[in-house]
Amino acid sequence: MTSIVWALLSRAMMETGELAWSLTQRTAHQSGSVLSITFTITNPTTVEKQYQVWIGLFDVSGPVITTFPLPDTFTIAGESEQTFTVSVKIDYSNCILQASLYDIETGEMVAALQTILDQPPSVIEQMSPVLMGAMVVGVIGAFVPKVLKE
């Protein structure tokens, strides 16, 4: 019985795939635009494996917005890796983007990554500090001559 438990624990602890990407913890993204992501899938085992990457979008409060697989599957030799870039049109911002790596043979998710897709600031929001500075200079410029005349 102990050997069966040990075998199950060993299998559960064995890494069967790794996933890395080019995104940071927070990513500026305009909803409706295309996001370019570079992925690296690593097969740390000694045998060839087939993988598929799924994308999930989640509301920050938790509910699923949508999920979809990337169109290709990847066959990677043992102790090897493969890097590829995809362009994905994402119609949402202010949400969580998750990429999950699945081992096709077992159907198990073996790795996952997340980033928050933030709506980039509008032009007016970007200009606010500049406009505020110009207003302060304008106000000072209007009142200083009056004060000096008195």
The pLDDT value given to residue 121? 79
pLDDT bucket at 136, cuts 50 / 70 / 90: low
Q: Is the pLDDT reported for residue 36 higher than 60? A: yes
Same domain, 12 and 86: yes
Domain shared by 52 and 101, yes or no: yes
**Residues 40 and 110 occupy one common structural domain:** yes
CB atoms within 10 A of CB 77: 13
Same structural domain for residues 143 and 108?
Answer: no
pTM of this prediction exceeds 0.75: no
Judged against a pLDDT cut of 80, whether residue 133 lies above it is answered with no
Query: What's the pLDDT at 15?
Result: 84
Average pLDDT over residues 114-141: 66
| Residue-averaged pLDDT of the chain | 83
Strands 49-59 and 33-43: unpaired
Please say whether the beta carbons of 51 and 102 come within 8 A.
yes
140 is in which domain, residue-wise? 122-150
Query: Per-residue pLDDT for 147 more than 60?
Result: no
How many structural domains are present in the chain? 2
Residues 50 and 101 in one domain: yes
**Structural contact between residues 38 and 74, judged by C-beta atoms closer than 8 angstroms:** no
72 shares a domain with 29: yes
Bigger pLDDT: 120 or 129? 120
Residue range 54-78, pLDDT digits in tens = 999 999 888 999 999 999 999 999 9
Residues near 33 by beta carbon (within 8 Å), at least 6 away in sequence: 89, 90
pLDDT at residue 8 above 50? no
Structure tokens at 87: 């362009």
User: What are the counts of helices (DSSP H) followed by strands (DSSP E) for the chain?
Assistant: 2, 8
Q: Note whether 108 and 143 are same-domain residues.
A: no
